Structure 1
Amino acid sequence: MTTTVPRQAGETEPTRLSGLATRDLSAWFGAHKVLERVSLEMAAGQVTALIGPSGCGKSTYLRTLNRMHEMVRGAQLGGEVLLNGEDVYAHGRRPAEVRRRIGMVFQRPNPFPAMSIADNVASGLKLAGIKVGRDHREHLIEDSLRRAGLWNEVSNRLGTPGGALSGGQQQRLCIARSLAVEPEVLLMDEPCSALDPTSTRRVEETIAELRGRLTIVIVTHNMQQAQRISQSCAFFLASHDTPGRIVEAGPTEQLFSAPVDQRTADYVNGRFG
């Protein structure tokens, strides 16, 4: 289901909220099966956290959601990924369009270091094949930087290299670059794992500000972070002879305070993983 909410001050168009879901999703790298029949609802306008030990398929699952999984040689997929009820893998659906609607922020900040801050944000438009006039381009740059919580820190130096920013600022610059193309969903693969506590807090504040205006799916190993920023949570688990699957999913508060499965309780309480 798609709904719209008014933009904040300075924004010109309503924001479209889109739900995301998978149905019996399985994934392989060659003959190695890494995900087993994963079904999950990711509610529109909310933050869904994916938690679980390393190697349980969380990041692979995240990459299936915007068709980045298929970019790996030998990768295969079964099941469905549904954006507002429509399969993003359906015949005739262009991967580039899927990745525009479902953006990605990676584990380590990856701005173009020699490119200016402004051009870094606008590069998202170029990569997506979106052409805009100069005035609209400037508006999109400011709007995206504001939504990423970075405008006040860089507004007087938009022409300086993006690589000169701190690690936390670079990560928010990458968020702004993703926001410039107006995605409906934003995927985040451990976006704070390479950051210091202060930068982590600022990125978390940015996520909180975006919630309700975007659907966000985040992989994190930080249990406190999952509790702070997400409204729903999915616990993944795998073993040496069993592919990754969801053990338990539901409201974050319930998953941490009253989990149904003992394995979930053990993991969120630090007894393994």
Structure 2
Amino acid sequence: MVDLIAKPRGRRAAGPPPRLDALAGYLETKPAAALQADNISAWFGDRKVLDRVSLTMPAGQVTALIGPSGCGKSTFLRILNRMHELIPIAKLSGEVRIGNEDIYAPGMRVTDARKRIGMVFQKPNPFPAMSIYENTISALPLTGVKASRAEKDFLVEEALKKASLWDEVKDRLHQPGGGLSGGQQQRLCIARAMALTPEILLMDEPASALDPSSTRRIEDTIAELRGEVTIVIVTHNMQQAHRISDQCAFFLASHNTPGVIVEHGATEAIFNAPRDQRTEDYVNGRFG
């Protein structure tokens, strides 16, 4: 059996080698997809937390969701990959579409939606009992693909390269994922998401618990993934939102009212020429 892990190589040409038959279709390049939310309202019990939120997240771009704590950004993010419905008292209305497909349509399985829409959480959450290698492909059973060891080796290397982690861990792939630094663990979680070859990647404050150096690596990774996947990121760091995003959506909830989008558009316009005074006050640190 060919050992693809033993000898590090440079970047391959696009597409899997012919011998990786089981993964050939799985690894076909999928273009980044636009994500569209229309009239999303959400409740926890009787408390309404989002009110008729609509947002287009363009294909291959980075959309930053900004706003004070408690305005519904993370709830909105979880609605985008059907995590909101896991909470027993949660309800929602509206549509979330990838292209023309509503991910909440009766015929759409949750697993099918989540294969297309990956998620990275605020706190790194690698499986501590699994190795780096095992963590990277832990979601592979969701795909229904039965891959050989050589095929798994290929997928691990590709996913870790996409997460800018391969060069740091290629000689210790079978050591525990929990033994990595916090920033490396977060990039391992990005690799785990990318191993499913998603069209969209959601990120909930992925660098908020990291030191400046690790934060920079996460931001560099986002920049590398731009164009390959559509990224939607929640961040409270205005400098980060300005650095990494193509467009921003400013959420706000006030006086016990549900969260709404006050303004959205190109990042440079949101930061340098906002249309709403509340947006200008927020991005300039006057509240929040």
TM-score of the two chains, using structure 1 as the length reference: 0.95
**C-alpha distance in structure 2 between counterparts of 1:14 and 1:181, whole Å:** 12
Counterpart CA distance in 2 for 1:145 and 1:238 is 38
> For residues 129-168 of structure 1, what are the alpha-carbon distances to aligned partners after superposition, in whole Å with 9 as ceiling and x for unaligned?
4432221111000000000000000001101100110000
Aligned-pair CA distance for 1:128: 4.8
User: Is the aligned partner of 1:271 residue 2:259?
Assistant: no
Q: Flag structure 1 segments of 5+ consecutive residues without an equivalent.
A: 1-7
Match of 1:164 among 167, 176, 179: 179
Q: Does the 8 A contact of 2:115 with 2:142 survive in 1? A: no
1:9 aligns with one of 1, 12, 16 = 12
How far residue 113 of structure 1 moved from its aligned partner, in angstroms, is 1.3
Amino acid of the residue matched to residue 51 of structure 1? I
Which residues in structure 2 correspond to 1:102-141 (within 5 Å)? 102-141=117-156
CA distance in 2, matches of 1:27, 1:130: 35
For 1:197, the equivalent position in structure 2 comes to 212
Cα offsets for 1:39-61 (capped at 9, x unmatched): 10000000000000000000000
CA contact (8 A) 1:10 1:143 kept: no
For residue 79 of structure 2, the aligned residue among 64, 85, 89 is 64
Question: Is 1:152 matched up with 2:159?
Answer: no
The separation in 1 between residues aligned to 2:227 and 2:177, in whole angstroms, is 28
* Aligned counterpart, 1:187: 202
- Structure 2 CA distance for aligned equivalents of residues 68 and 118 of structure 1: 26
Q: Which moved more, 1:80-89 or 1:45-54?
A: 80-89
Match of 1:92 in 2: 107
Shift of 1:174: 0.3
SS in structure 1 at match of 2:138 = helix
Counterpart amino acid of residue 125 in structure 1: L
Aligned equivalents of 1:224, 1:241: Cα separation in 2: 28
What CA distance in whole angstroms lies between the structure 2 residues aligned with 1:79 and 1:55?
21
Report whether the alignment pairs 1:236 with 2:251: yes
Structure 1 segment 217-232 matched on structure 2, within 5 A: 217-232=232-247
Q: How far 1:14 sits from its partner (Å)?
A: 2.2
**Greater share of strand residues, 1 or 2?**
1
What is the CA-CA distance between 1:127 and the residue it aligns to? 4.7
Q: Secondary structure at the match of 2:258?
A: strand
Distance 1:105 1:29 in 2: 23
Partner residue, 1:253: 268
Cα deviation per residue 1:159-182 (whole Å; 9 max; x = unaligned)? 110011000000000000000011
Residue 222 of structure 2, aligned match among 207, 225, 231: 207
How many residue pairs match? The answer is: 266
After superposition, give the CA deviation of every residue in 1:214-240 in whole Å (9 maximum; x if it has no partner): 000000000000000000000000024
Separation (CA, whole Å) in 2 of partners of 1:103 and 1:129: 17
1:55 aligns with 2:70: yes
Deviation per CA, 1:58-87: give whole Å up to 9, x if none: 000000001000001111110110111211
Q: Output one character per residue of 1:217-266: Cα deviation in whole Å (capped at 9) or x when no partner.
A: 00000000000000000000002421000000000000000000000000
CA RMSD, 1 decimal: 1.1
Structure 2: distance between partners of 1:233 and 1:125: 32
Query: Structure 2 unaligned runs (5+)?
Result: 1-10, 16-27
Counterpart of 1:163, as a letter, is G
Deviation at 1:10, TM superposition (A): 4.7
Q: State the identity as a percent.
A: 65
2:54 counterpart SS class = strand
- State the structure with more CA Rg: 2
SS at match of 1:115: coil
In the other structure, the counterpart of 1:27 is 42
Normalising by structure 2, we get a TM-score of: 0.90
Is the Cα–Cα contact under 8 Å of residues 52 and 235 in structure 1 kept in the other structure? yes
| Distance across 2 between alignment mates of 1:75 and 1:57 | 13
